[in-house]
Each structure stands twice: as structure tokens, then as C-alpha cells.
Amino acid sequence: MSDDGLRLERRGAVAILTLDRPNAANGIDLALGKALMLQAIALSEDAEVRAVVLTGAGRFFCAGGDLKSFAGFGAELPARLKELTAYLHTAITRFSRMDAPLITAVNGMAAGAGMSLAITGDLVVASESAGFIMAYTAAGLSPDGSSSWFLPRLVGDRRARELMLTNRRLTAAEALDWGLINEVVPEGQALDAAVARAETLAQGATGSYGAVKELLLATFGNGLETQMELETRHIAARAASEDGREGIAAFSEGRKPAFTGK
């Protein structure tokens, strides 16, 4: 187990981040939150990283914020929560804005901020035993970790309200049916399935993935013409890139493109 609760492994162009506090259900305390932020910043700046996988150690993906550590803060709790959400939210911003796709491998229960974090993945792979629950209001709290932004866009306002107000627990099969995740795999195979997807994506045009991510993040806030202007700028920039030129040449020559991520 790592000192700060986070492990990094590199497999070629794929980076694997593991929430590594299994004895605390991978709950996010200040140390883990800060470590996640720093790794997200570092990975987003690393041109050699072309896909990232995020998973949890042990039986849980992540049980959310470490409420036991919160209980020890006393009157400082509001300030410490602002510090923790600053770390977590910066990490999510960097994962969402980096070119490399983020694949979350949900190996077990994802609760509270753990569910929030799980659904930020560009692709989400879950084991059959995984579960998803907001859980915030059950502890007298309210959602964080971007869930109030991502969840309504994934499942709609009505279902988002149900999950947040009633703390309904979704099975992996239900989460797939609701459009919350992309794939359900047999027990113990979530990480391998996520890494396989990451390795495939890592051979692609990383800058194109970044353009897709930026376009989709902007789409609900833009009008039609603004969104089309953003599309115009991105496709022109991609056509001028090394991978764009290679992709066009490969199509014209009837061969498979050899993308370098540039």
C-alpha cells in the first residue's frame, strides 16, 4: 500500500492509477485527494501518456470521502472539506481536459465521491459485482466530485434526482441499462478489460480524442453556431497536425494509419 494512498503503474503509453487504501475502502482523505490531483496534473502534461486507467485496490472502487477522517477535524471541517474538494475537483478537471482518454475500471462499490469519480471516465468498465450509490444525503451532505454536472447529462434530470435524493443503489447491470457505464465484465476482469481498451486507444490519434472531449464538454453550454465554430477550429487544427496528415494519407493510400499522438 502506498503512503499517500495512490499507486501509479506505466505500461507503455498507458498509465494505471490505483486508489490504494483497501483497508479504508479506498476512501478519499486529504493525502489521497492531493496525490490524485498531482498525478492528474502530471499525466495531463506527459506527452508519452496516451490513455489513463483509474481503478481501486481490493473489494471497493472507492467508498467516497473518508468520513472517519472528517470526524476528527472538529470546527475545521468546513475548511478541510474545501481543501479536499479543491484537490478532487482539480484532478477531475485535468482528467476531463487532457487529451488522453480516461477509462475507469470499477472493480467494486462506488459510493459518494467514489461514484462521482467513476462516472467521470470517458469510458467506464464495471465488474458484475460493482454497485453505484450517491449516498451523500444519507450522511447529511450534498454531492461533490462533479456528479451534479455529469450525472444529469448521463441519465437525465429525473433519474439524477432519484439517485441523489433517495440514494438508490444501482447494480452494474442497471447502471449499464441507464447509460451510466459502457460495459459490464465478469468478476475480477474490470481492470484487464479497461487496460485492453486503453491500449487500443493509446494507438490512436490522442489529439483527436482531446478535441472530442472538449467538444462534448462544451456542447450543452453552446448554441448551434458557437458549437459549429468550435468544431471548425478543432477539425482544422487536427488536419494540420502530424496525426491528421497521417490519417488522411493512410486513408488515401488504403493502409492503416501509424499515429504517434502528435
DSSP track, 115-168: HHHHTTSSEEEEETT-EEE--TGGGT----TTHHHHHHHHH-HHHHHHHHHH-P
The residue among 121, 119, 118, 146 whose CA lies nearest residue 213 is 121
Same domain? For 95 and 212 the reply is: no
Q: 213 and 129, same structural domain? A: no
Query: Is 242 in the same domain as 221?
Result: yes
Judge if 192 and 226 occupy the same domain: no
Please give the pLDDT value at position 1.
61
pLDDT of 259 reads 95
**How would residue 25 be classed by pLDDT, with cut points 50, 70 and 90?**
very high
pTM of the complete model? 0.95
Same domain as 89, residue 61: yes
My answer on whether 210 and 197 are in the same domain is no
The verdict on residue 1 lying in a domain is no
Range 85-97 average pLDDT: 97
Domain boundary, last residue among 185, 201, 217? 201
The amino acid that residue 201 corresponds to is L
In a domain, 261, yes or no: no
Tens of pLDDT, residues 94-150: 999 999 999 999 999 999 999 999 999 999 999 999 999 999 999 999 999 999 999
In a shared domain, residues 196 and 215: no
Whether residues 173 and 227 share a domain: the answer is no
Domain range for residue 237? Answer: 206-253
Number of domains observed in the structure of the chain: 2
Q: Is residue 214 included in any domain, yes or no? A: yes
User: Among candidates 21, 150, 131, 176, which has minimal Cα distance to 89?
Assistant: 150
Q: pLDDT tens for residues 150-171?
A: 999 999 999 999 999 999 999 9
Looking at the fold, whether 222 and 122 belong to one and the same domain comes out as: no
Q: Is residue 241 part of a domain?
A: yes
Residue 63 forms part of a structural domain: yes
Q: Are residues 35 and 144 in the same domain?
A: yes
Looking at residue 142, which CATH number applies to its domain?
A: 3.90.226.10
Residue 107's pLDDT is 97
Same domain, 109 and 220: no
User: Is 212 in the same domain as 196?
Assistant: no
Measured between alpha carbons, how far is residue 32 from residues 2, 29, 104, 129 in Å? 10, 5, 17, 25
